[in-house]
Amino acid sequence: MSACAGSGGYPPLADLRAVTEAKPVPTDEIATDPVAEASYNASVESWGDRIRSAGVRLCKFFDETGMPMPGFDCPDP
């Protein structure tokens, strides 16, 4: 029986939270304040980096559990 069991369980909850995190919401202030604009841009970049990192980890998780992914290889982190 154990040979038929999958190798994996569930993906990490932290990664599921990360890939569903909402994009930062811009304020009107970013149109007139360069500091606010830079802060917003940095928050969007960080958000995107977190999502990609979690996506790569999820990809590797599903690959390790044997999920068929024909023609697709998980990217490097």
Tell me the per-residue pLDDT of 26-49, one tens digit each, with 9 for 90 and over.
Answer: 999 999 999 999 999 999 999 999
Q: Give the 3-state secondary structure of the chain.
A: CHHHCCCCCCCCHHHHHHHCCCCCCCCHHHHCCHHHHHHHHHHHHHHHHHHHHHHHHHHHHHHHCCCCCCCCCCCCC
59-70 mean pLDDT: 93
Q: What is the residue extent of each domain of the chain?
A: 11-20+28-64
pTM: 0.79
- Confidence class for position 7, pLDDT limits 50, 70, 90: low
Q: How high does pLDDT run on average in the chain?
A: 90
